[in-house]
Structure 1
Amino acid sequence: MKLSDIYYDSHFGEFEELFRQSGVPVHFRKGEAIPTDYKIRNIFYTVNGLSKYFFVHENGTEKVTGIFGPGTLIPYSLCLPVSEKNFVYKDYFKSQTLTDVDAICLKQATYHKLFESSAALRTANYDWIAFQHNRYEFETFFLSNCGAFTKVCNFLYSNSSLYNVYRQNGLILTQDDIGDIIGESRLDVARAFRNLRDLNIVSTSRGSVTILDKEKLFRLTSYLR
């Protein structure tokens, strides 16, 4: 089960040439915001690089919902709602590059035309939205009742490859980063890692985690319940 996997790449890779023919190349520097404002109505296809998509609560806390690599579309809603009554008008949704990012900018109207003319793109779009819907239902109805320790176990079991992705891009996945992803404090994340080390399930070093006993880790996740 990979419901908690938050690194995405390649889902729309087969349509890159189509997007190149219809969009405009753009470049974002590391740390730059990718526009997700509903008024702009642009969609960005990632050619290379990494970015994070996250929500910002009114109290200032962040919840990272996805790490996006090559072959993905931003914003999360893909084609954006057509009717303005379906927009969330408050500026909760953010996207920021983790590395330099090369992308293709598509206007909303352009993407809709491609969507209507390509059965394959429609299928990929529906598949993506269905996957995200299932993931959010899982997190909303189940993970919201889990403690920090279980959330860390879920994250490690489903996202071990994310450490490699970060390392390949010269990044370090910190405990603060994990806290932003699972919605827990750095202190609770650190305590969970300490418990896992004491159980000889993981070993840690700067920016990396080695899973020593994946079966034992799995038994501590919420996936069996």
Structure 2
Amino acid sequence: MTTGIDLLLPDPCYDVPTPRGAFGTDQVCLDLRLFSMSENTLIPVNARRATHVKPRFGSSPEECCVTGHDGVVTLRPFLRKLTQLVQLQSGDADAVELLQFKIAQVARQRDAIARGETVSYLYVVLEGWAARYSLRPDGTRRITGFLLPGDFCGIHAVCHAPMDHAIVALTDCTLAKIELTQVEALVSDSPIIGRALWYAKLIDEAILRTWLLNSSDAVRTLAHLLCELDARLHHGTEIEAGPRRFDLPITQEQIGDALGLTSVHINRCFRHLREAGLVDIGQGRLTIPDVEALRKAAAFDPTYLHWRGDGSGRR
């Protein structure tokens, strides 16, 4: 498998290791060959191996792991996402793992895809959190979806249509860029994967509809969003007695942009949930003492996420 890597660096350099802490990791070792770039320009660089050590962002070590045992970057988060949606055969999984792709490292608060851009790649989040967003006429931002490891964007490329929204990295992100021609060939050879891609987009729409329906009660809306993120990050994990903890590497302002609330209002809602003993948050980690209690308070029903085996009748 051949991969490429896009890096944003200020000066031309040769085989220079990435500084500690860059791109959401404590250490990134890149086996690079000779390359050069101009200031503030993304230039494809041929690379074979990338070993990520102790990632800072993500929900768990498994979801942050984007390398195989031999150190080669893989599409494992994407494959895991597809298997949540449909029953893949071994040949389908092999086809996904054999896809060629480039790696793009996007720093937090930078756009990975701009509104109006016509993309020729399917972008898959391998590491970090990103979001879809649009700007209102007054310049304020509305987030319309969170992208977690395994999620993808840029499906507009299928219709050769410009993006009607933008994608921003909420944390330092590692993205895989898969050329549209490969995606089209994959779907042609494996229709079940095409079905999974469209299921994923239908789920995106269902999530957005649910956000809109919950907008009448700020505290319940926040509780529902936290339940949704917990369900997405822990799909396939049984709810056990005792607290559940996971990284929540997004700010109250970003949560407010998603729910149509100010960061001050989000802070009040968090305080209300904390005083009720439903959540606790500190140092970028969310603790849910009792998942079922939070779900009950939020009136959360995960069936709108339409995962395989969720009782919705879809396979």
Deviation (angstroms), 1:30: 2.2
CA contact (8 A) 1:28 1:34 kept: no
What corresponds to 2:118 in structure 1? 39
Alignment RMSD (CA, Å): 3.1
Corresponding residue to 1:200 among 272, 277, 292 = 277
What corresponds to 1:143 in structure 2? 214
**TM-score, reference length from structure 1:** 0.71
Question: Which whole-Å CA distance do the structure 2 matches of 1:62 and 1:195 have between them?
Answer: 24
Deviation (angstroms), 1:64: 4.8
Corresponding residue to 1:164 among 236, 246, 256 = 246
Structure having greater relative contact order (Cα 8 Å, sep ≥ 6): 1
3-state SS of 1:19 partner: coil
Residue identity (%) = 15
Question: Which whole-Å CA distance do the structure 2 matches of 1:40 and 1:209 have between them?
Answer: 35
Structure number having the greater helix percentage: 1
Deviation readout 1:132-173 (Å, 9 max, x if unpaired): 233233333x223x221111111222324767245xxxxx43
Deviation readout 1:196-220 (Å, 9 max, x if unpaired): 2222323332322322344442332
CA contact (8 A) 2:82 2:196 kept: yes
**TM-score, reference length from structure 2:** 0.53
What corresponds to 1:63 in structure 2? 143
Specify every segment of 5 or more residues in structure 1 that has no aligned partner in the other structure, as ranges: 1-6, 167-171
**Across the two proteins, how many residue pairs are aligned to each other?**
199
CA contact (8 A) 2:123 2:175 kept: no
What corresponds to 1:127 in structure 2? 199
Deviation readout 1:78-134 (Å, 9 max, x if unpaired): 25452x6xx4x675322326224152331x344223222222312212321232233
- CA change 1:100–1:138 in 2 (3 A) is closer
Deviates more, 1:10-19 or 1:50-59: 10-19
- CA change 1:212–1:11 in 2 (3 A) is closer
Deviation (angstroms), 1:190: 0.9
Deviation readout 1:35-94 (Å, 9 max, x if unpaired): 354423322234x3224122122232231512231x33222xx25452x6xx4x675322
Question: Which whole-Å CA distance do the structure 1 matches of 2:156 and 2:193 have between them?
Answer: 11
What corresponds to 1:116 in structure 2? 188
CA contact (8 A) 1:26 1:105 kept: no
Following superposition of structure 1 onto structure 2, how do residues 171-182 of structure 1 map, counting pairs within 5 Å?
172-182=249-259
- CA change 1:198–1:102 in 2 (3 A) is closer
Deviation (angstroms), 1:189: 0.9
Question: Which whole-Å CA distance do the structure 2 matches of 1:213 and 1:40 have between them?
Answer: 43
CA contact (8 A) 2:123 2:177 kept: yes
| Max Rg structure | 2
Specify every segment of 5 or more residues in structure 2 that has no aligned partner in the other structure, as ranges: 1-62, 64-76, 84-92, 234-244, 302-315
